[in-house]
Structure 1
Amino acid sequence: MNQKLEWVKTTDVLHPLRTKADGQELRIRIGDFPEESMYTLLVGEQEVAQFDDWPKAWSRPKK
């Protein structure tokens, strides 16, 4: 999660952010915090990480 990534907004409520890295689509799923992690990172359809703190190397889209 140290790779610099620029995320863009989507219209998908469950997966509101996406980007591409190394030719693969990455998506962020929002969890039911605090029972679940705040975010889940998906590569394609596979869950690869759950986390609560947004990585410093990743830039969120401007509002």
Structure 2
Amino acid sequence: MKNILTKSRFKMGFECSNKLFFSIQSDYPNSKIDDPFLEALAQGGFQVEELARAYYPQGKFFYVL
């Protein structure tokens, strides 16, 4: 992996320089990659997206008082 500064890495480094440093170190692997709980949260997010698409196929929602 190239050590390029992406938008995501810039934001991460702006929040915490240690996060940026350790994100490019191969000696410190990301333990969140194989986390089943985080995977379940992501799948739940995709389900909400599909439900929203089913209710609003044109992608528009207008709330009128």
Q: Aligning the two structures, in what range does the TM-score lie when normalised by the shorter sequence? A: under 0.3
Q: Which has the higher strand share?
A: 1
Structure having the higher Rg: 2
Q: Which has the higher helix share?
A: 2
Normalised TM-score (structure 2): 0.21
Q: Which has the higher contact order (CA 8 A, sep 6+)?
A: 1
